[in-house]
Amino acid sequence: MAWRTASRCDSLDDARRYLHDLAGDVVAPGRIDAYIDHGAQALRALCGWAPLDLMWVKGYSDYLPERPGGRAAGRSVEPRPFDVRRLGDDYATMEPFYTRTPLNVIVHQGDYKWLSTGMRHWRGPQRMLKVGARTMIAKARGRRLVGMGSALVGALMVGVREAGVDVRLGCGVADFVVETAGGRDRVTGVLLDDGSTVRAAHGVVVCSGGFDHNHVLRKRFHRAPAGPDLSLGAASNTGEPIVAAGAIGAATDLMDDAWWAPSIPLPNGPWFALAERSLPRSIVVNDRGVRFMNESLPYVEATHAMFGGPYGSGDGPAENLPAWLIFDQGYRDRYMFAGRTARSPLPRRWFDDGYLIRAESITQLAQRLSLPDGALESTIERFNDAARSGVDGEFGRRESAYDRYYGDITNKPNPSLGELGKPPFYAAPIVPADLGTKGGIVTDERARALRADGSVIDGLYAAGNASSAVMGHTYAGPGATIGPALVFGDLAARDIAVRCGGR
């Protein structure tokens, strides 16, 4: 498979050094080593068990590639398109992709990079044609294709059904069943919120996601305006299994952090501003009218900067919120914005309802944003000087390979910097949305749940966003949530198999 090409070009030692450097002392070293050492085996097993075909996202940089062991060429894979006809009735239960992409419209990660810069480079129209041709061919052949995360879960569901797994949907966890034998407590099942009980002969693995849509936990651990209303996580991620695990003694960690996603609030929900922040002729400012970060930062680090602290918790208002993405008409003439192609008119409702603000001058825009007199003008003047020289002396925008990935390579002298000067000028709020929460059950290198004293809770395992992130407070690269979920889920299953004698 194509993902093996990436592994041959990489080094386990480099990957290990990279993750240890990023996580620091926040994560137990054994967990990081288990993830690195077992990753390839877990992925091979998964692709053999389910009809999952992965390809390397060549050139999609690690998010912090300049750190020791980082890799500018990238380490991530994504699924090839999946035909949901294979799911039968199960397709109706699939969580839709957050942008509600139509069937057969498959945009690979490598496509998106070029689509965002429109007609600026020949690869832009080439990718548009490829996406269009891919769509028409699929329709002509009667296929019903999905991509990205939908392709992943679709293939996994086929594997689950073919393995004869009993799947129960529409029920939640109320508590864990704990029994005592020989003076030791052991988790032996799950009490569901409908009052029924599911018994587990050898172990319970919690893979329920984080607490994205739990209002109580979000208010307790995260600062406003972060919370369920700005979460792009599945609506069913409400955290009850994490709470239930805590009630029987499980330790939790990283509850104050999330897989943050700086987003533009629009009528249908937050739009994840992945490329928008990195394109020339744009900046992000706070309510003092000044820049406070390299706008191209990876999304977790960018949101940490928005909060003005390392994570999402703390007392009092966030230091750099509210924040706005400021751009000019030159940006709109060149680049995609919130899914709208370059030059295409933005919906009038976005302006009428205050989702976007437009003005004929920088001063007028600053007044509409209630920014201090002269602050935005001075900020843009300094930024334009940096754009002309090609060097962002304040925040180093473009110095990282990740900065340049979403830039415009035709823009000189810096693919990430461009002067704001063509009216009208625009301001879009940037808010701390998230792709899911990071905090959860503390586990060991075998995915076993741990108490605060480090002892193991017999029979209880956790993986994915229900467990505290093996990446710590940062985001190593694309797939840094899904990869550990798959690997530690596999490690949990293997540990259970050993317990039950390989049955």
pLDDT in tens, the chain (503 residues): 444 555 556 899 999 999 999 999 999 999 999 999 999 999 999 999 999 999 998 889 999 999 999 999 989 999 999 999 999 999 999 988 777 676 767 777 777 676 677 777 777 777 778 877 788 887 888 888 888 889 999 999 999 999 999 999 888 999 999 999 888 899 999 999 999 999 998 999 999 999 999 999 999 999 999 999 999 999 999 999 999 999 999 999 999 999 999 999 999 899 999 899 999 999 999 999 999 999 999 999 999 999 997 787 777 778 999 999 999 999 999 999 998 999 999 999 999 999 999 999 999 999 999 999 999 999 999 999 999 999 999 999 999 999 998 899 889 999 999 999 999 999 999 999 999 999 999 999 999 999 999 999 999 999 999 999 999 999 999 999 999 999 999 999 999 998 877 55
Closest CA to 22 of 455, 323, 471, 490: 471
**How far apart, in whole angstroms, are the C-alpha atoms of residue 409 and residue 417?**
11
DSSP strand pairing (456-462 vs 448-450): antiparallel
Show which of 116, 140, 162 is a domain's final residue: 162
Q: Which of 244, 239, 124 is nearest to 174 (CA)?
A: 244
Residue 216 lies in a domain: yes
Q: What is the pLDDT of residue 5?
A: 52
Whole-angstrom distance, CA of residue 472 vs CA of residue 25: 9
Same domain flag for 328 and 385: yes
Same domain, 276 and 249: no
Residue-level pLDDT at 105: 74
265 and 150 co-located in one domain: no
Q: Do 14 and 130 share a domain, yes or no?
A: yes
Residue 266 lies in a domain: yes
- Closest C-alpha to 226, from 266, 264, 254, 260: 260
- Diameter of the chain by CA atoms? 77
Asked whether residue 327 falls in the same domain as residue 215, the answer is: no
Last residue of a domain, one of 410, 434, 458: 434
Domain's final residue, options 379, 412, 434: 434
Q: What is the DSSP letter of 85?
A: G
CATH of the domain at 406: 3.90.700.10
Q: Note whether residue 168 is domain-resident.
A: no
SS3 content of the chain, % helix, strand, coil (to 5): 35, 20, 45
| 122 and 144 belong to one structural domain | yes
**Residue 381: which H helix or E strand, with range?**
helix 375-389
- The two three-digit tokens of residue 268, written as one number: 């249908």
Q: Do 341 and 457 reside in the same domain of the chain?
A: no
Q: Where are the beta strands (DSSP E) in 161-203?
A: 173-181, 184-192, 197-199
How many Å apart are CA 462 and CA 460, to the nearest integer? 7
Residue 30 lies in a domain: yes
Q: Tell me whether residue 76 is in a domain.
A: yes
CB 295 within 8 A of CB 282: yes
User: 38 lies in a domain?
Assistant: yes
* 297 and 348 inside one domain: yes
Look at phi and psi of residue 93 and say left if phi exceeds 0, alpha if psi is from -120 to 50, else beta: alpha
Is residue 292 assigned to a domain? yes
Kindly report whether the global pTM for this prediction surpasses the value 0.85. yes
* The predicted structure's pLDDT at residue 3: 47
228 and 267 part of one domain = no
Residue 449 sits at φ, ψ, to 5 deg, of -70, 140
Position 360 scores a pLDDT of 98
93, two tokens: 């239960």
Q: Would you say 258 and 213 are in contact if contact means Cβ atoms under 8 Å apart?
A: no
Q: Are 168 and 179 in contact (CB under 8 A)?
A: no
Residues 177, 180, 186, 192, Cα dihedral to 10°: 0
How many separate domains does the chain show? Answer: 3
Question: Quick one: 450 and 394 in the same domain?
Answer: no
The separation between CA 350 and the C-alpha centre of its own chain, rounded to angstroms, equals 25
CB of 221 closer than 8 Å to CB of 255: yes
Whether the Cβ atoms of residue 98 and residue 74 lie closer than 8 Å to each other = no
- 22, 146: one domain: yes
Two structure tokens written together for 57: 């996202």
CATH of the domain at 72: 3.50.50.60
Q: Which domain holds residue 194?
A: 173-258+436-499
Residues 265 and 253 in one domain: no
Tell me if 42 is assigned to some domain: yes
